[in-house]
């Protein structure tokens, strides 16, 4: 009996020792009527001396950004910013002097109150599009379409839905992981009740961060869902001679305009006036676990952004090349998703629209890493090449719509 008690006590102490000790700070809670507004905290405020960081929430004023919130996290030479007002989108990140993001013609963090998603034939979403990562979904995504009088605007509603709950969680023990959480509700009477608990995780001092989302169907009926993680990169990573790397099983052009770009789909041109966007549909290869990766590297191969995700969660990828002029928006998108960017009607016809049963949940995890030396970049290029050995890339020359 004494031996059993010792075992039980040992198990209890082990459980206590591994339990994470953290402090939480609620910035927004619609149920509790909490809205903190301008707020900040540093490592010193938490009596942490061996890692430096600062988290600041700011409410913007003036113009179309009036009332928008931006959370900025800074640690040593790395920083990133998130907007709870814009669906917990990641606005930009920067490390070692290298920016992850792009220069959109939209230079404000536009409050969704000033956006009509159904304007311009369902293209109103573009009036606020300037994020490094915006969630396209979750009720639907893709190009706009009208079905039975209902407009499915481009890329859904999540990116223009302010968070109903925003919490900062900071671990008080090494590695002092910081979590920025937000709850996105896409709730409509007689239609959608999809809720997404978003989480951005960051370990101070690193050049990497993780996005972890849990989507739940809160209704009493089965509901369709789609998601594209629209991740966008411009200079200095994007430039003439920059390259895209991924283990590709199959690639096809999105439309006729993209057909001519197939021969150079892995490389990028300099800013080019009158360049229309080229989009390619990719199916990737993966490791045994389903884990895969995609990367954008500059010409010198000494600056890159790496994205890691799982094909069991995000089975397809859209590669968007928009090498227009710098003022017009010189940008490329690496966009893992459950479906391609065609209208929801086409994606449903091809079996790429997924469904959640009442109360059912699904998860998505992506890891973004900034690489700033040739050695690390080559390491991941070698990993991608090893995965690619599974099969040669099948290049399909006709768009899916014409097959």
The residue with tokens 């606005």 is 91
Whether 11 is covered by a domain: the verdict is: no
pLDDT at 400 (0 to 100): 81
The residue with tokens 């959480």 is 181
pTM to 2 decimal places: 0.94
Task: Quick: pLDDT tens for 287-317.
Answer: 999 999 999 999 999 999 999 999 999 999 9
Which DSSP symbol is given to 262?
Answer: G
Task: Quick: pLDDT tens for 245-275.
Answer: 999 999 999 999 999 999 999 999 999 999 9
- 367 — phi, psi (to 5°)? -120, 125
Whether 200 is covered by a domain: the verdict is: yes
Q: What own/partner pairs with CB < 8 Å and gap ≥ 24 does 57-66 have?
A: 57/27, 60/108, 60/109, 63/108, 64/108, 64/110, 64/111, 64/114, 64/128, 65/108, 65/109, 65/110, 65/111, 66/111
Q: Is residue 7 very low, low, confident or very high in pLDDT (cuts 50, 70, 90)? A: very low
225 pLDDT more than 90:
yes
CA–CA gap between residue 99 and residue 79 (Å, rounded): 9
Whether 105 is covered by a domain: the verdict is: yes
Whether 17 is covered by a domain: the verdict is: no
Q: Is residue 401 very low, low, confident or very high in pLDDT (cuts 50, 70, 90)? A: confident
% of the chain residues with pLDDT over 90: 94
Whether 384 is covered by a domain: the verdict is: yes
9 pLDDT more than 80:
no
2 pLDDT more than 50:
no
Antiparallel, parallel or unpaired: β 248-253 and 394-395: parallel
Q: Average pLDDT of the chain?
A: 94
CA–CA gap between residue 54 and residue 168 (Å, rounded): 12
13 pLDDT more than 70:
no
Contact call for residues 216 and 361 (beta carbons, < 8 A): yes
Whether 225 is covered by a domain: the verdict is: yes
Q: Is residue 19 very low, low, confident or very high in pLDDT (cuts 50, 70, 90)? A: low
Residues 378-403, mean pLDDT to the nearest whole number: 92
Q: Which domain holds residue 205?
A: 22-402
How many structural domains is the chain composed of?
A: 1
More confident residue, 6 or 313: 313
Nearest to 157 by CA among 118, 108, 121: 118
231 pLDDT more than 80:
yes
CATH at residue 65: 2.70.98.10
Whether 10 is covered by a domain: the verdict is: no
């Amino acid at each position: 009996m004494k031996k059993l008690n010792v075992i039980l006590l040992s198990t209890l102490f082990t459980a206590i020792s591994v339990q994470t000790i953290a402090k939480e700070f609620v910035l927004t809670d619609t149920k509790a009527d909490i809205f903190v507004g301008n707020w900040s905290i540093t490592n010193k405020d938490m009596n942490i001396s061996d890692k430096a960081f600062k988290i600041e929430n700011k409410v913007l004023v003036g113009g179309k950004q009036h009332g928008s919130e931006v959370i900025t996290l800074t640690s040593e030479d790395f920083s990133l910013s998130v907007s709870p007002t814009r669906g917990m989108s990641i606005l930009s990140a920067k490390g070692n002097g290298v920016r992850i993001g792009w220069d959109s013609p939209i230079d404000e963090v536009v409050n969704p109150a000033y956006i009509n998603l159904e304007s311009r034939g369902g293209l109103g979403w573009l009036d606020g599009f300037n994020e490094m990562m915006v969630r396209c979904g979750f009720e639907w995504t893709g190009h706009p379409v009208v079905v039975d009088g209902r407009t499915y605007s481009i890329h859904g509603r999540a990116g223009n839905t302010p968070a109903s709950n925003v919490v900062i969680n900071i671990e008080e023990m090494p590695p002092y992981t910081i979590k920025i959480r937000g709850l996105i509700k896409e709730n409509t009477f007689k239609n959608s009740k999809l809720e997404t608990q978003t989480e951005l995780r960051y370990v101070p001092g690193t050049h990497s961060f993780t996005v972890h989302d849990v989507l739940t169907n809160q209704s009493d009926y089965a509901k369709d869902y789609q998601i594209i993680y629209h991740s966008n990169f411009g200079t200095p990573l994007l430039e003439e001679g920059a390259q895209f790397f991924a283990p590709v099983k199959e690639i096809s052009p999105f439309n006729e305009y993209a057909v001519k770009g197939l021969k150079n789909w892995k490389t990028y041109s300099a800013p080019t006036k009158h360049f229309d966007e080229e989009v390619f549909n990719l199916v990737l290869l993966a490791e045994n676990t389903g884990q895969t990766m995609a990367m954008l590297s500059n010409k010198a191969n000494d600056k890159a952004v790496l994205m890691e995700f799982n094909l069991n969660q995000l089975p397809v990828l859209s590669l968007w090349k928009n090498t227009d002029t710098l003022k017009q928006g010189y940008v490329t998108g690496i966009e893992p998703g459950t479906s391609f960017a065609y209208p929801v009607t086409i994606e449903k016809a091809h079996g790429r629209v997924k469904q959640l049963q009442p109360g059912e949940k699904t998860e998505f995890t992506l890891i973004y890493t900034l690489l700033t030396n040739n050695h690390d970049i080559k390491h991941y290029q070698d990993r991608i090449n090893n995965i690619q050995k599974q099969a040669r890339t099948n290049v399909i020359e006709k768009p899916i719509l014409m097959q």
